[in-house]
Structure formats: C-alpha cells, structure tokens
Amino acid sequence: MTAVAAAGEASEVFQECGCKGIRTCLICERQRHVDPPWQLFPQKTHRFLYCVNTGWAMGAEDSDFEGWAFPFPGVTLIEDFVTWEEEAEMVRLMDCDPWKLSQSGRRKQDYGPRVNFRKQKLKVAGFQGLPSFSREVVQRMGLYPGLEDFQPVEQCNLDYSPERGSAIDPHLDDAWLWGERLVSLNLLSPTVMSMSREGPGSLLLSSAPPAGPKDSTDTAIAPHQSVLCQHVEVAISVPRRSLLVLAGAARHQWTHAIHRRHITARRVCATFRELSAEFQPGGRQQDLGCELLQISCSFQGRPV
C-alpha cells in the first residue's frame, strides 16, 4: 500500500467529525495534533457590543473606542420567544430524529429543498415541509412587527457543544435562494453572534448614545470621528429562548459567526429562511417558489 493510500485510509478510519478543508473541531484537532487556523494568525480586532435598546454598536470597555458608537441597523432580538416547556419539547422532538455530522463540530438537521448553491440548482423531491412541531412558533413569528409576512421554506437545526468545540466561521448566507430575513431561535444556552467586517474601511463613530429607546437618541450634535480600521467585530448577546432576526446591512454587509469560546453548554439553534424575490410572486422562478411554499406550510416535514 502506498503512503498516500494509507494516509487516506487512516483519515477515513479516524473521521468522527464532519470537518473538511480548512474547518476543524476539537475532535479532529486532537487526532491530527493541529491548532485551529484562527489561533495561528490572531488579528487586531476592534470590538463593539450591540445594544438592543439603541440599535447601536458600542465600543467595548477598555478598547480604543470605548465611549464611541455607530448605528448598527438590521438586528431584531425578541426575548422569551418560547417558554421553557416549549424549548424542552422542541429539543426533545429534534432528538428523536438523527443528527448529521457537519463542519466545525456542529451537527445538523435540515428541513428544506436540496440545494446546490454553487450551481444555483434545487430539487423539490424529498422535501415534505417544515416539521409539525414548528407550526406554532412560525405562526407566532407573524405576530411581531417586521415579521408579519414571514413565510419560511427552510428550517435548519444546528447542534453545538463545547465538547466538540462547535462553532460557525464568519459567513454571509446565500442571497440567490434565501430572502431578506434570517430568523433564528436560540435554544438551551445563551451565546454571542459575532458580526464582522473585513477592512480596510472607515467607520463613522459618534460619542456613544445613552442606552435609551431606539429612536430617542439625538446624535446630530454629538462629536464624531471617522476612523480607518481593518477588522471590526460587533458582538450581539443572544439569550436562551430568544429569536434573532438579521436583515438589511446585518444580513448582507456584515458576516455572522459563532466563536468556539461562545459555546459554553449545549446549544441548539433553529434557523428559518424565506425565499428571495426571484422565487416570490413576480419573480423569474415564482412557480417553483409557490410550490416550495405550499409544501413548507403543510408542516409534514422529515429531515432531508
């Protein structure tokens, strides 16, 4: 047997995770005796914390920009979206179905059409809709301002654990098939969604607004400064049982990620996605969109 064949076989034998390419988790890092890539090249990051009351990103304590802030539109956080009992029942039902190994120590269950994003192709066959246990939570979403017309056609459950070193690298969600709002329900433990923007770019900072309600801040007279920075990160604290909606700039201009250090206990997240304009009435693929929507809201789904 050649060395290459032996190595190939060995990696199959040891493959207990779903990592590929540059992605790693604690399991494969231990087996391969490697460090995670993000530890090799630490970069200077300007850290901000998202304030739910003002909708601003505030310079972190003891950072270069403490006391400074900038508006961070496109984030909605709804606390206590499900009760403790609903949370327990949802996770119990999810655990009745198998979880598939995924990248970076995550496990996954997907209820949606099969999609090849690179080729922009999708298959309806096999998709039976969202699971029945989500009917009530999806209906509840429609009661909140900004979500009245939200009709998801995909639910993706992700399971994170500190033992596996689960995380999700900074990324933007697809915008060919998936629409404006990304809605995720955060279950079992709190976490932090890290929004980032790679520079070089300038940031227009104002002296931090008071932590009052979103529209009550008069920033016109506040001191301003424009700063050039390479790597900016805005941390959004996401409580257990809350619903996080990303839209607008938070959806399209800032990547989102969950760092390993922000998974401190088992966390299950259910992300709901709607169709893009291309698949909505008036769009080029409206018929396909209509078919997907009908299947989705039958709530007879099994994981695909």
Ligand X SMILES: O=C(O)CCC(=O)C(=O)O
Q: Which residues bind ligand X (CB under 6 A)?
A: 156, 158, 168, 173, 184, 256, 258, 269, 271
102 binds, among ligand X, Fe ion, none (CB under 5 to 8 A by kind): none
76 binds, among ligand X, Fe ion, none (CB under 5 to 8 A by kind): none
CB of 197 to ligand X, least distance (A): 16
Mapped onto helix, strand or coil, the DSSP state of residue 27 is helix
Nearer to ligand X, 203 or 269 (CB): 269
CB of 285 to Fe ion, least distance (A): 22
Dihedrals phi, psi of 185, to nearest 5 degrees: -100, 120
Angle at 153 between CA 152 and CA 157, to 5 degrees: 85
CB of 25 to ligand X, least distance (A): 14
Q: How far apart are CA 278 and CA 246, in angstroms?
A: 20
CB of 219 to Fe ion, least distance (A): 30
229 binds, among ligand X, Fe ion, none (CB under 5 to 8 A by kind): none
Nearer to Fe ion, 66 or 173 (CB): 173
Number of Cβ within a 10 Å radius of residue 189: 18
Nearer to ligand X, 158 or 275 (CB): 158
Q: How far apart are CA 104 and CA 167, in angstroms?
A: 6
Closest among 132, 171, 175, 172 to 155, alpha carbons compared: 132
Check: CB of residue 112 under 8 Å from CB of residue 271: no
CB of 249 to ligand X, least distance (A): 16
| Sheet strands side by side (includes 242-246) | 75-78, 242-246, 178-187, 267-275, 154-160, 107-111, 100-101
CB of 187 to ligand X, least distance (A): 10
Nearer to ligand X, 60 or 156 (CB): 156
CB of 144 to ligand X, least distance (A): 18
Nearer to Fe ion, 138 or 250 (CB): 250
Nearer to ligand X, 49 or 154 (CB): 154
Check: CB of residue 277 under 8 Å from CB of residue 154: no
Check: CB of residue 185 under 8 Å from CB of residue 81: yes
184 binds, among ligand X, Fe ion, none (CB under 5 to 8 A by kind): ligand X
Residue 284, class by beta-carbon neighbours within 10 Å (0-12 exposed, 13-18 middle, 19+ buried)?
exposed
Rounded to the nearest 10 degrees, how much is the dihedral formed by the CA atoms of 268, 101, 127, 111? 10
> Which residue in the set 66, 169, 173, 180 belongs to the binding site for Fe ion (CB under 5 A)?
173
**What's the helix, strand, coil split of the chain in %, to 5?**
25, 35, 45
The answer to whether 291 contacts Fe ion (rule: CB under 5 A) is no
What mask, x for binding Fe ion by CB under 5 A, covers residues 257 to 276? --------------------
158 binds, among Fe ion, ligand X, none (CB under 5 to 8 A by kind): ligand X
156 binds, among Fe ion, ligand X, none (CB under 5 to 8 A by kind): ligand X
